[in-house]
Structure 1
Amino acid sequence: MTNQDLFCRTGKALMLGAMLLSPLIATANDAKIPDTEWQLHGNDVGEQRHSALTQINRDNIEELGLQWSFDLYTRRGVEATPLMVNETLYVSGSWSMVYALDARTGKLRWFYDPKVPRSFLAKGCCDAVNRGVAYSDGRVFIGTYDGRLVALDADNGDVLWDVQTTDREQSYTITGAPRLAGDYVVIGNGGAELGVRGYVTAYDSKTGEQAWRFYTVPGNPGEGLESAALKEAAKTWTGQWWEWGGGGTVWDSMVYDPELNLLYIGVGNGSPWNAELRSPEGGDNLFLASIVALNASTGEYVWHYQTTPKETWDYTATQHIMLADLTIKGESRKVLMQAPKNGFFYVLDRKTGELLSADAYTPMTWASGVDLATGRPIETDTARVFDGKNISLPGNAGGHNWPPMSYSPDTGLVYLPTMNTPIAFLAPTREEDRTPSSGYWNVGFDRMANVPPDIPDLNAMYDSAVTGQLVGWDPIAGKAVWASEMGRFAGGGVLSTAGGLVFQGSGFAKLRAMDATNGKVLWSFDTQTLAAAAPISYSLDGEQYIAAAVGFGGGAGAEAGAVTHHWEIPNLSRVLVFKLGGSAELPPIPEDDRSLASQPAIVTASSEVVDHGRMVYQRHCSYCHGDGMRTAGLTPDLRHSNAMVHDNWKAIVLEGQRSGLGMVGFKQFINAGDAEAIRQYTLYEAGRLYDQQQNAKQENKQAKASASAE
């Protein structure tokens, strides 16, 4: 059977399914529906993120309206999947704060602040976000940004136990949601870009006592390796990788199969990204960029599949892992599905790890396919050409990042948020980039390849190059059945429902509902800010609700400031809850005038010093303050620095005068001359911004005058 024949048959099956589903939806809409909770991170144990509720459906979606909203207490990124248990909505916000809200009204029942030191902001990659809590037997579990796992009383928010899961002296953070595995609660961590070694840890959910720990990459063999699996993994590494940390953090996806008693973890990138530095004589570097199955009771290794051997592009396998039962070639298979950053959609036998299929879901330049016999990608000749000109697709942001996908058993489709994010990597040109620097960013590439060009408006350039789509993906046929229109790359996580709908936040500050069979947009709501987290659905008193946590930030707002600066999306951290007939309204968006109040001080240094400042800035400062100083507002836009900042510039940049706010000192990497060069570059960019804003005001004034004359 050809792919075309399979596509046609799939399309006919979907149309027939939609016809059969319509009367069922109508019948369910007329009947009173039972109370339905959302107790697990992905709703069911397979994390399919599909709701069986049908009261809200294709026929009445236009009646969906806002029922209530709740403003969170911070103004950073929001990426959490809420839970709804016992008529209470549990949602985490930035800085790992937890809010317990009445699921009917939004009234605050209790609030927990773990009081994470703000200095930890510099220890993380992509904002002080949190992706959700876990719930079990009257306990709510939260992983905190400073590396703790905390159990709270679900009724009142009291702390039941609090354990430190990381070394606070190293750059470990936690942004992922804990997962439940039998009697244990399991948590990973992040920090690969800053030189740490990844692991996951299981704790007794009642007492907080550690049950087991699994390291994802080997440490120093001279100090002993923790397991037989790591002894085998060490054979795939060369050089002195442990001095770099190794990486392999499990910063997001985990899922537990209670029938097989297996915990599946998605392992991240290496530390550093550049494989030539961490493993100079080659090797696959297990278990980087791998899906690893562990015995949930003991933490012992069972099997693994590596998506990207010798990973070097930040192609993590930490993206959403989903379990399902699929009929493949006439045989029912228990499968695991994942669309990691590298651009391939994988279907594995979850008992054995056998690769069943691997198909490209997004354009790519690094590989032409996957050899199903060996399971290895077929790399292109230019895959590892890092000259600052060769384009890598996907870029380090991936073809799919952390926003979760969903799977509908009604349509047989996976709803996958994809991205097109090209990037040019440049091999290191300085000795500093070839040297481990634990606690500070060092990915082993030269950031100068990512400096935006000096053009007035980057909006058109970036919006055309960096795009995203929602794809209705057939995991059996290995191809897209439909794809939404191209949009901005920051498409949010997905919820599918038995009402024939798919809900997703778009990069244009909208929450949308689409027809699950063809992707047609049926409903849209202006969220006023980015809706990156996946929505959920629950029902109470015979009414179905859709809930979403929203708020601009995360990697889109922190690391990708060059792209997001032109979006003019504010951070309005909120919980939004909808139902049929809802009539609540959001308050007006606060005015956000980013124009410079007065002309900046003039540059007093030579063009050579300014160019040097651009280089030092891009290599050390751009991770937080944006490529070319195009920041999204979560971290200070240095072009707006006032006289007080300039007067204390060296104390801030070198000595860490504002480390309590997350701005650490860099005196071990740069000297006073470098710091002054950065300041001069800041003045140069501030002057360019001021001129652009003045020109824009003049053009607007002329346009208004012309319109008035007409």
Structure 2
Amino acid sequence: MSIKLLCAAVLGLFCAACNDSAQMSAPEVGAGENWPMPGGDGNDSHYSRLTDINRDNVSRLGLAWSYDMGTGRVQEATPVVIDGILYTSGNLGRVYALNAVTGEELWTFEPDVNMQVNRVVCCDQANRGIAVSDGKVMVGALDGILYALDQKTGEVAWQVDTIVDHSRGYSSTGAPEVAGDLVLIGNAGSEFDVRGYVTAYHISDGSQAWRFYTIPHDPALGPQENEDLEKALETWGENSRWDIGGGGTAWDAIVYDDRFDVIYVGTGNGGPYSHASRSGGEGDNLYLSSIVALDRKTGKMKWYYQETPRDSWDFTATQPMTLTDMEVGGEVRPVIIHTPKNGYLYVVDRITGKPVAINALVRTSWADGYDMETGRPNMTPEYSDYGTGPKIVFPSSAGARNWYPPAYDPESGIYYAAVLDMGNLMYNLPGKQPHREKGLNAGASLIFTTSLEGFLETMPPALKEQIEALPQMDWVRENPGFSQVRATDPLTGKTIWAADAEGWQDRSGMLVTRSGLLFHGSIGGKFYVRDAATGEALKEIDTGSAIMAGAATYKVDGVQYVAVATGWGGGGWSFVPGYSAPYKYENSNRILVFKLDGGEVPKPEALPPLEVAPEPPAQADNVTPETIAKGAQLFFANCALCHSNMVRSISPDLRRLTPEKHELFRDILMDGLLVGMGMPQWDDLLSEEDVAALHAYLIDLQEKQHAREKALKEAGKPLDSKGLVIMSNY
């Protein structure tokens, strides 16, 4: 079925007939000379109407200017460009205002972040963008403070603490969303011990307009906040783990539809992960892993659609949503295009919340399709219910799709996105897990299928035999995982073309233009320009910097520019693969801006050659194998998320601690000696005995790494990042 872009008058009349609150005109599709919001336009399409850079001249694309952001962590934001000024955010919630033609710094903002928040951040110090309205630039800092900055000076106009309970593991990584005179922000932390919500604030002064919780609270605490939550409560079991919070965080994917004055919110996974552990195996657990439509003025729910009922696999629905109009069955309908983590591509009616098309993008073992009459998945617990034993579940918790933005061309009807086909081995931790305050409370272990063969060799024979007998092992051995950039028909799910990426971690945001070009980066440091119709790479620029963020394009004084941020990080940030730019070069955070007839891109400083890990101090006299085993458990429960001990990790490789760090090990953990550098304090969760056990485990690891690398060097062989397999023990 073809997809057509209709004129504004037809769209307005159609929508008015469907909904009395509809406006009589639709916003212009795509961005023009300005790029006024991270998604380019109000539809979050990442589509530009500019055509100056095209197939005929893109070979001349080169660097116009670059700007050093002064950090070495994750960059995931797409810039906003308004009237010749480029605004963007960086890690932690930093903000930069630059001359969009020259890169001259106009002002910067550094939030005063409580670095203890690093304890409860699953996926690095990410920030996904800013919002600009009413003379203010708004950004959410990692610790949950929402700032409104004067657009001209960067001075703080107002700030508000968006976190309802600082004893819980909340953080904030998403971009604010402007909706009329309101700005909305969600939060992250479903793996920890939180209850999700989204809050609307008045742009004028930061006062709260309303708040919508995405799941119910413990009924023992009294009535729910509204009748929609009372109804949701019926979908939770009597034995639900309200002490852990429930999850459902809206950490990204909040989109305002000004035609209907409605806000669409994508909600997150449950906590703990397993449906059996979370609610005793009862109910769908609304409104987890759902799209929820809220009235802008009141915050009341208009409709919901749960994409993954009874989610047990971290299949969040917080991935970017695109608004558009499609011809479906001879009728033009306003729809949402959505690709959440669960492996399916959805086209959902914006008025009713009913799906009009659902197609699989990747291998899916948790469901084998959907009943289109009910909108419910045909779930396959025999392949995915790890409450009955370990299961290999496709796709993985990394998602078939994740935060990196897609692009949609409303004229061709093609949807462009990075897609990951990979699975997880999952199993529950034994027994009922106690609530760990501000700690990981997912209650399950997971291993990516790309690492599974290595893990099998270390497992007890009985467990190994059980896993190898799983039917999904055929999928794993055939292809453990891969990533692609794809062009897809949203209504059929048909792949129009696909370009293979270097590995499963290689995925980035998209930008498509009316001139038929698709722009995207790679973590190998390449910036690609493809023919949007065929996927052919027309231009490839080697920057030496990982590029995950989506690009923006804009025009000033008759010249078209393309801007993108560089910097490795985010989910899996401590695993730096050998094919990535940060394995070879400093993880330089830059804004790179290109134009026709620009110059070469200078690469960051090359990293020094690997050296043999230092020999650690001797173990204390009282250290036993049991001590080291306890330390290993503590490491996986508290430290592995950041310190995966890869040689080229951005975070310190704890197999390479210096004598000075060993001497200060206890003070770093218990007294917060390095809090100012981002290393949290742990005295509230760990005992002195725990710290000693952790230290013993790390000394043991370092002894083994030192011996291994010393032998490699003596044999004249190169050092590498191998030698330790890390399991995500949630």
Question: Does the 8 Å contact 2:422/2:481 carry over to 1?
Answer: yes
Alignment correspondent of 2:395: 394
What is the identity, as a one-letter code, of the residue corresponding to 2:147? V
Distance in 2, matches of 1:587 and 1:562, equals: 19
Q: Which secondary structure does the structure 1 equivalent of 2:170 belong to?
A: coil
Alignment correspondent of 1:409: 410
Distance in 2, matches of 1:651 and 1:562, equals: 32
Pair 1:448–1:57, CA change in 2 (3 A): closer
What is the identity, as a one-letter code, of the residue corresponding to 2:198? V
Given candidates 120, 128, 142, the residue that maps to 1:123 is 120
Query: Which is worse superposed, 200-209 or 657-666?
Result: 657-666
Question: Does the 8 Å contact 2:358/2:491 carry over to 1?
Answer: no
Given candidates 23, 40, 48, the residue that maps to 1:43 is 40
Question: Does the 8 Å contact 2:669/2:681 carry over to 1?
Answer: yes
Alignment correspondent of 2:254: 254
Pair 1:553–1:564, CA change in 2 (3 A): farther
Distance in 2, matches of 1:584 and 1:397, equals: 34
Alignment correspondent of 1:225: 224
1:169-205 CA distances to partner (integer Å, 9 max, x unpaired)?
A: 4322111111111111111111111211111111111
Q: Which secondary structure does the structure 2 equivalent of 1:624 belong to?
A: coil
Pairing 1:555-704 to 2, within 5 Å after superposition: 555-558=571-574, 560=575, 568=583, 570-596=586-612, 598-601=614-617, 607=625, 609-626=627-644, 629-630=645-646, 633-653=649-669, 656-666=672-682, 671-698=687-714, 700=716
Distance in 2, matches of 1:436 and 1:526, equals: 47
Alignment correspondent of 2:471: none
Q: Which secondary structure does the structure 2 equivalent of 1:192 belong to?
A: coil
Gap regions ≥5 residues in structure 1 = 1-5, 14-33, 704-710
Distance in 1, matches of 2:457 and 2:546, equals: 26
2:102 pairs with 1:105: yes
Q: Which secondary structure does the structure 2 equivalent of 1:681 belong to?
A: helix
Alignment correspondent of 2:424: 423
Distance in 2, matches of 1:493 and 1:329, equals: 31
What is the identity, as a one-letter code, of the residue corresponding to 1:409? P
Q: How many residues are aligned here?
A: 665
Question: Does the 8 Å contact 1:531/1:550 carry over to 2?
Answer: yes
1:480 to partner: Cα distance: 1.3
Question: Does the 8 Å contact 1:146/1:174 carry over to 2?
Answer: yes
Question: Does the 8 Å contact 2:78/2:564 carry over to 1?
Answer: yes
Given candidates 473, 480, 492, the residue that maps to 1:465 is 480
Pairing 1:297-446 to 2, within 5 Å after superposition: 297-380=297-380, 381-385=382-386, 389-431=390-432, 434-446=433-445
What is the identity, as a one-letter code, of the residue corresponding to 1:687? E
Given candidates 175, 178, 183, the residue that maps to 1:177 is 175
Distance in 1, matches of 2:489 and 2:205, equals: 43
Distance in 1, matches of 2:611 and 2:363, equals: 38
What is the identity, as a one-letter code, of the residue corresponding to 1:177? A
Alignment correspondent of 1:708: none
2:256 pairs with 1:279: no
Q: CA RMSD in A?
A: 2.9
Q: Which secondary structure does the structure 1 equivalent of 2:486 belong to?
A: strand
2:142 pairs with 1:145: yes
Q: Which secondary structure does the structure 1 equivalent of 2:72 belong to?
A: coil
1:384 to partner: Cα distance: 1.0
Distance in 2, matches of 1:521 and 1:615, equals: 47
1:248-274 CA distances to partner (integer Å, 9 max, x unpaired)?
A: 110011111111111001001112222
1:25-59 CA distances to partner (integer Å, 9 max, x unpaired)?
A: xxxxxxxxx97000022111111110111111122
Question: Does the 8 Å contact 2:32/2:49 carry over to 1?
Answer: no
Identity rate, percent: 37
1:60 to partner: Cα distance: 1.5
2:491 pairs with 1:476: yes
Distance in 2, matches of 1:647 and 1:306, equals: 52
Question: Does the 8 Å contact 2:290/2:307 carry over to 1?
Answer: yes
Q: Which secondary structure does the structure 2 equivalent of 1:679 belong to?
A: helix
Gap regions ≥5 residues in structure 2 = 5-30, 459-475, 720-730
Distance in 2, matches of 1:514 and 1:685, equals: 45
1:592 to partner: Cα distance: 3.8
1:453 to partner: Cα distance: 4.3
Distance in 2, matches of 1:685 and 1:557, equals: 21
1:598-637 CA distances to partner (integer Å, 9 max, x unpaired)?
A: 43346675555444433332233211212xx337523221
What is the identity, as a one-letter code, of the residue corresponding to 2:643? H
1:501 to partner: Cα distance: 1.0
TM-score where L is the length of structure 2:
0.85
Given candidates 56, 63, 67, the residue that maps to 1:70 is 67
1:414 to partner: Cα distance: 0.3
Pairing 1:499-538 to 2, within 5 Å after superposition: 499-538=515-554
Question: Does the 8 Å contact 1:253/1:266 carry over to 2?
Answer: yes
What is the identity, as a one-letter code, of the residue corresponding to 1:199? Y
Question: Does the 8 Å contact 1:595/1:690 carry over to 2?
Answer: no
Q: Which secondary structure does the structure 2 equivalent of 1:120 belong to?
A: helix
1:117-146 CA distances to partner (integer Å, 9 max, x unpaired)?
A: 222211322111111100113211111111
1:527 to partner: Cα distance: 2.5
Pair 1:437–1:574, CA change in 2 (3 A): same
What is the identity, as a one-letter code, of the residue corresponding to 2:122? C
Distance in 2, matches of 1:265 and 1:700, equals: 56
1:361 to partner: Cα distance: 0.6
Q: Which secondary structure does the structure 2 equivalent of 1:523 belong to?
A: strand
1:567 to partner: Cα distance: 6.6
Alignment correspondent of 1:208: 206
Question: Does the 8 Å contact 2:60/2:597 carry over to 1?
Answer: yes
What is the identity, as a one-letter code, of the residue corresponding to 2:495? A
Question: Does the 8 Å contact 1:114/1:144 carry over to 2?
Answer: yes
Pair 1:696–1:103, CA change in 2 (3 A): farther
1:699 to partner: Cα distance: 5.5
Distance in 2, matches of 1:229 and 1:522, equals: 51
Q: Which secondary structure does the structure 1 equivalent of 2:555 belong to?
A: strand
1:515-559 CA distances to partner (integer Å, 9 max, x unpaired)?
A: 11121212112232221110010011111111001111111314x
The answer to which structure has the higher helix fraction is: 1
What is the identity, as a one-letter code, of the residue corresponding to 1:585? V
Distance in 1, matches of 2:337 and 2:447, equals: 36
Pair 1:363–1:617, CA change in 2 (3 A): same
1:578-611 CA distances to partner (integer Å, 9 max, x unpaired)?
A: 0010014314423244433643346675555444
Alignment correspondent of 1:549: 565
1:242 to partner: Cα distance: 2.3
1:462 to partner: Cα distance: 13
1:217-261 CA distances to partner (integer Å, 9 max, x unpaired)?
A: 111223321111000011111224321111111001111111111
1:507 to partner: Cα distance: 3.0
Q: Which secondary structure does the structure 2 equivalent of 1:693 belong to?
A: helix
Distance in 1, matches of 2:155 and 2:680, equals: 33
Alignment correspondent of 1:80: 77
